[in-house]
Structures are given as C-alpha cells and as structure tokens.
Amino acid sequence: MSVSIRMSRIGANKKASFRIVVSATRSKCGGAQLDTLGHYRPDGEPREAVIDLVRTREWIKKGAIVSPTVQRIVKAAEAAVKDGGDAAKARVAFASAKTKKTHKDRLAAKKKKD
C-alpha cells in the first residue's frame, strides 16, 4: 500500500483551511487518514502553515509520496528551521497578495520612469 502526504480541506464555505495529512494514495481526499502532520491556513494575513518536520521526514523515509504543494511547504519549513526554528512545530509564513504591487503602484512607477 503506497501512502501520500497531501492536504485535506476542512473549514466552512469560502473559508478554506487545510490539514496536512498522510493517507493511502487510493483513498479520497477527505477519507481515512493515517497521520496528521500539520495545517495550512491560506485566508490568514499572512498565509501560515505549521508542520511537524520530524514526523514528515519519517514518512518520507518510509516511502511516502509528497504532493507538490506540500513539498513547497516542507521546503519553506526546512529553511525556517535552519534559521533557528523548532523542527517539531515548524511555522512558515508566506508573502500575502497585499504585499505585491497594485496596478496603481505599477502605473505610478512607470510614469516616474518616463
């Protein structure tokens, strides 16, 4: 039986929240879970993920397949741990959409340039 580390959606309508879980590859997304490794909240400011890297590494050593999105979270969490974080509860904050330049900012910068 192959297992995968992926995200399982929880939360109300239009207020998504995800658990990072280990489940059988053939089971449905909301189905039975073997282990819960952390959570991801995309609607917060900033977007935040908490993951247990110790247990995640154990599952990867056992041959678990990691989804691309969880792979990105694990990579960011490992970078946070290198900076002095705790591997048992690695906390990652992602840049929010509000920090990106707005259309007005880009137009103002273009006018200054000309």
Task: Quote the crossing angle between the two packed helices 68-82 and 53-61, to the nearest 10°.
Answer: 130
CB 45 within 8 A of CB 99: no
At a CB cut-off of 8 Å and minimum separation 6, what does 1 contact? 24, 25
d(CA 5, CA 25): 9
Q: Look up the domain containing 62 and give its range.
A: 3-113
pTM: 0.75
CATH number at 81 reads 3.30.1320.10
pLDDT digits (tens, 9 = 90+) for 49-61: 889 999 999 999 9
d(CA 85, CA 105): 35
Do you know the residue count of the chain? 114
pLDDT digits (tens, 9 = 90+) for 88-106: 787 777 766 655 566 777 7
Return the residue matching tokens 């741990």.
Answer: 81
